[in-house]
Amino acid sequence: KNEVEQSPQNLTAQEGEFITINCSYSVGISALHWLQQHPGGGIVSLFMLSSGKKKHGRLIATINIQEKHSSLHITASHPRDSAVYICAVPNFGNEKLTFGTGTRLTIIP
């Protein structure tokens, strides 16, 4: 079973700061998901990546397959970025996801 760990568990920052959230996993994978969950509970997929780097607006995700590590960065953070960010890895074959425990991000104006 793949173990997925995230750090930090909680992160509070001032508006405008550069944010980094880390994710490590124990078993080799073909892809990794970064997800965002707002207080209402619904989950939105931010990225799915299998190598290198992806960018969408102020969000950047990187993955190092050899080191079994991924990072999510937020540039010029804004209070509306406040949410829980979760990384998840799929199981080979049925693609069911194993999730990290999430990072609760709070951006203070």
**Site of interaction with another protein (CB under 8 A):** 4, 30-31, 33, 35, 40-45, 48, 86, 88, 90, 94-102
Closest CA to 55 of 37, 75, 35, 36: 75
Phi-psi region of 39 (alpha: psi -120 to 50; beta: other; left: phi over 0): alpha
Report the nearest approach of another protein to the CB of residue 16 (Å): 28
* Residue number with CB closer to another protein (68 or 100): 100
With DSSP H G I counted as helix, E B as strand and the rest as coil, what are the percentages for the chain, rounded to 5? 5, 60, 40
* Residue number with CB closer to another protein (73 or 104): 104
Report the nearest approach of another protein to the CB of residue 29 (Å): 10
